[in-house]
Amino acid sequence: MAAQARPHREIIVAGGGLPGLSLAVALRRAFGEAVRITVCDPAFARAGGPDLRAYAVAAGGRRMLERLGVWPAVAAGAQPIREMVITDSRLSDPVRPTFLTFAGEVEEGEPFAHMVEGGALLGALRAAAAEAGAILDPTPVRAAVPESGAITARLADGRSLRASLVVAADGARSRLREAAGISWIGWSYPQSGIVATVSHERDHEGRAVEHFLPSGPFAILPLSPGGSLGHRSSIVWTERQADVPALLGGDREDALREVERRFGLTLGALALETPLAAYPLSFGIARRFGAPRLALLGDAAHVVHPIAGQGLNLGLKSAAALAEALTDAMRLGLDPGGPDALQAYERSRRADTLAMGAATDGLNRLFSTDVLPVRLVRDFGLGLVDRLPALKRLFIQEAAGLRGAQPRLMRGEAL
């Protein structure tokens, strides 16, 4: 089928996840009908099942979502993280000493992060994108072919759409990234991430806990009230990959016992609100974040270990940076798919993404070991940070996504 002619300011987003939808909302809010945005994802045609994931949306991400008009739709169910506690122990240790605590505010009355359930956030972004006038097309993009002054997206149903730019937001195994010849530097960890929602008798009071165990971190992240016992938390449990089949292969009572061993009893009796679900963990970064008339976004550009809970926030920050680069180009009368806009995006995100990837990889390697000298050194380091308020503030600013140069949307400013 011949390619259909399209307006000069046409952008196609291949992938309707959180970063891709955020970009679509941002550009439509900035330009309205002056820019045509089509988001292609087969998930739009499916009735969504329950999403077991919950995300720690950092303060910078919350400011962005507020500016885009999305935050009010999820604010009622969002749980502020008021305190962060870090412990380091073996699974068999009777006591888990606290080595480091962080207060949960970056500004007075502004928590450094909120826990938001994945299904609610995705639904809010889809609704915002549709309301802003983005086209949500349930047909996947199979190929993107650059040509003189444009790029043609070839869809699975045979249609061809001509655009100024295609944004590959199609995941870590991005078909469009591979077709563009952009190489990927990465590796798999011998670990899996296990997620579930747990209910408990006592109120968590907004406290998040990161237990560092020899197999990897076990995070307890506070959720809004609910569940069979009145209070809920999300767990993100890093476990040796070889042990995961046995942990997930038992019945619900066996799974609950394994959770209790790691969760502890400080919040009273526990109940599993969702089954345990596991996914492999990896690190990866694209050598380039773009090719002629193609920009990589979200997991198509970078994947990091969940130890610091920064995967979503990296994706949101990249969406904000790409929206800013495209907006600045179009306001100057430049082609949004041209090299100036794509180079500006690359410059704004490369160093920060590399730094976060290195930090999460290093932390995982440092804390996923039971070698006694390493444990002594890291525990001494945690205790030292706990006694240095200025250093703790720096860590909080970093976790909140507010340290260093930030895209305008992450500062809560208009594009």
The per-residue pLDDT for range 284-341, each reduced to its tens digit, is 999 999 999 999 999 999 999 988 788 899 999 999 999 999 999 999 999 999 999 9
Range with lowest mean pLDDT among 2-6, 134-138, 228-232, 406-410: 2-6
Q: Domain 10-53+118-186+283-374 class? A: alpha beta
Q: What is the mean pLDDT of residues 161-188?
A: 97
CB atoms within 10 A of CB 82: 17
Q: What is the mean pLDDT of residues 222-239?
A: 96
What pTM did the predictor assign? 0.93
Q: Are 233 and 218 in contact (CB under 8 A)?
A: no
pLDDT digits (tens, 9 = 90+) for 371-406: 877 777 777 777 777 777 776 777 777 777 777 789
Confirm if 155 and 170 have CB atoms less than 8 A apart.
no
CA 77 to chain centre: 18
Q: How far apart are CA 185 and CA 206, in angstroms?
A: 37
| pLDDT value for 158 | 97
Q: 172, 138, 123, 166: which is closest to 298 by C-alpha?
A: 172
What distance in Å separates the CA atoms of residue 34 and residue 8, rounded to the nearest whole number?
Answer: 10
98-143 tens-digit pLDDT: 888 888 778 888 998 999 999 999 999 999 999 999 999 999 999 9
Residue 3 has pLDDT above 50, yes or no: no
Tens of pLDDT along 355-376? 889 888 888 888 887 787 777 7
Q: Residue 168: what pLDDT? A: 98
pLDDT at 16: 96
3-state secondary structure the chain: CCCECCCCCEEEEECCCHHHHHHHHHHHHHHHHHCEEEEECHHHHCCCCCCCCEEEEEHHHHHHHHHCCCHHHHHHHCEECCEEEEEECCCCCCCCCEEEEEECEEECCEECEEEEEHHHHHHHHHHHHHHHCCEEECCCEEEEEEECCEEEEEECCCCEEEECEEEECCCCCCHHHHHCCCCEEEEEEEEEEEEEEEEECCCCCCEEEEEEECCEEEEEEECCCCCCCCEEEEEEEEEEHHHHHHHHHCCHHHHHHHHHHHHCCCCCCEEECCCCEEEEEEEEEECCCEECCEEECHHHCEECCHHHCCHHHHHHHHHHHHHHHHHHHHHCCCCCCCHHHHHHHHHHHHHHHHHHHHHHHHHHHHHCCCCHHHHHHHHHHHHHHHCCHHHHHHHHHHHCCCCCCCCHHHHCCCC
- State residue 149 phi and psi, 5-degree precision: 75, 5
- What are the tens digits of pLDDT across the range 20-59? 999 999 999 999 999 999 999 999 998 665 667 899 999 9
Domain boundaries, the chain: 10-53+118-186+283-374
Q: Give the pLDDT of residue 166.
A: 98
User: How many other β-carbons are positioned within 10 Å of the β-carbon of residue 414?
Assistant: 10
Query: Would you state the pLDDT for residue 2?
Result: 40
CA distances (Å), origin 379, targets 90, 271, 344, 382: 13, 32, 41, 5
**Residue pair 123/131 in contact by the 8 Å Cβ criterion:** no
Return the pLDDT at 137. 98
Q: What's residue 1's pLDDT?
A: 41
- Across residues 230-239, what is the average pLDDT? 96
**Mean pLDDT over the full length of the chain:** 91
CA angle, 103 then 109 then 110, to 5°:
70
